[in-house]
Structure 1
């Protein structure tokens, strides 16, 4: 058995905790180790916050463009993808952590934090069409978990 879900969210700050709570609830119900759940929820929060802040302007009706969050949990890992329709960006060469923001900066550490919390991170920018941040983490399970590997 596995769990898969996808959300299309408005680029509003209130959407970030919604995505985080859905992920935490799914992992709690499935029986994922709380430390792994916490790491993934923080990484998701950072990816969603980036989509909200940088994910694009208004659509043809003048409404804020949205973003998409997709998560898949199976017996071995969780994969999360956050995709926006913004202008994209020029990814840094190598690791996002290779060039961190100054300690006084209020932003600029999200991708580095995601890389530190996940086992594998992939960032794809599509200039003029948005960005996609996907990350995987090997799961640990509580005793008697619904989805855990037997």
Structure 2
């Protein structure tokens, strides 16, 4: 739904891919670290030329943000670094025992061909 919404307003496919990749990684972390219920909530807001996403879980939280990619044979540990590489801003609000909120912000890049074909203004987008 998020990807379709971004495409409908004329966001470039590369930008859409970055947003979806970051969201997918944040959701995967929520499932992996989000506690026994594996439940999480995703909210998105689009406005003022950017997309802001929040992924909230009720898990124990992460211990620390990795500074480098893990060894090539490691099965896990790349998600946060991948998110950092494709969004403009990433923030964590970790409350041990009560959950983690991941906030992702991405400045939107526009598909100029799409915008030229659609005679409309994107007010406040």
Q: Normalization by structure 1: what TM-score?
A: 0.72
Tell me if structure 2 keeps the 8 A contact 1:141–1:148: no
Give the superposed CA RMSD: 1.9
Aligned equivalent of 2:70: 101
> 2:93 & 2:69 partners in 1: Cα distance?
19
How far apart are the structure 2 equivalents of 1:139 and 1:131?
25
Does structure 1 conserve the Cα–Cα contact (< 8 Å) formed by 2:31 and 2:38? no
Unaligned runs of 5+ in 1: 1-21, 58-63
Encode CA deviations 1:14-51: one digit per residue, 9 max, x unaligned.
Answer: xxxxxxxx111111112111110001100101000111
Q: Which runs of 5+ in 2 are unaligned?
A: none
4+ residue runs of structure 1 moved beyond 6 angstroms? none
Kept in 1: contact 2:32–2:38 (CA 8 A) = no
Aligned length: 119
